Chain A
Amino acid sequence: MTPARMLLGSTCLALCAGMANADQASGTLNLAFSKEVETADVYFNTAREGLLLNHAIWDGLLYRNPETGAYEGNLATDWTWIDPTTIEFKLREGVTFHNGEAFTADDVVYTVDYVTNPDNGVKNLANVMWMERAEKIDDHTVRLILKAPFPAAEDFLAGPVAIYPDEYYAEVGPQGMGVAPIGTGPLKVAELDPGKHFVLEANEAYFDGPKGASAIGRIDIRTIPDVNTQIAEFFNGTLDFLWNVPADQAEKLEAMGRYEVVNAPAMRVGYISMDAAGRSGESPLTDKRVRQAIYHAIDRQTILDALVKGSSKVVDSACAPVQTACAQDLPSYEYDPEKAKALLAEAGYADGFTIDFYAYRDRPYAEAMMGFLDAVGIKTNLNYMQYAALREQHRKGEVPMTFLTWGSNSVADASAMTAEFFTGGPQDDARDPEIIDWIQQADSTTDKEKRAGHYKQALTKIVEEAYWVPLFTYNVNYVLGPDIAYTPTDDEIVRFFAFDWK
Chain B
Amino acid sequence: MSAAAPPSAMQAAHQRYRWFPYALLLPALVVLVALTIFPLVFSLGVSLTGYGLGRAAGFVGLANYAQFLRDPSFWLALRNTLVITVFAVGIEIALGVCLALLFRESLPGFRALSLFIFIPMMLSPLVIGFFWKFMFDSTFGVLAYFTTLLTGRTVSWLTSPRLALAAIIVVDTWQWTPFAFLLTLAGLQTVPPQLYEAASLERASAWMRFRRITLPYLRFPLLLAVLFRTIDTVRIFDLVYIMTGGGPGDATITLSVLAYRYGFQFYEVGRAAAVSWLIVVLINLLVMVLLSFMGKSAAATARSTGSGRAR
Do A and B pair up? The answer is: no
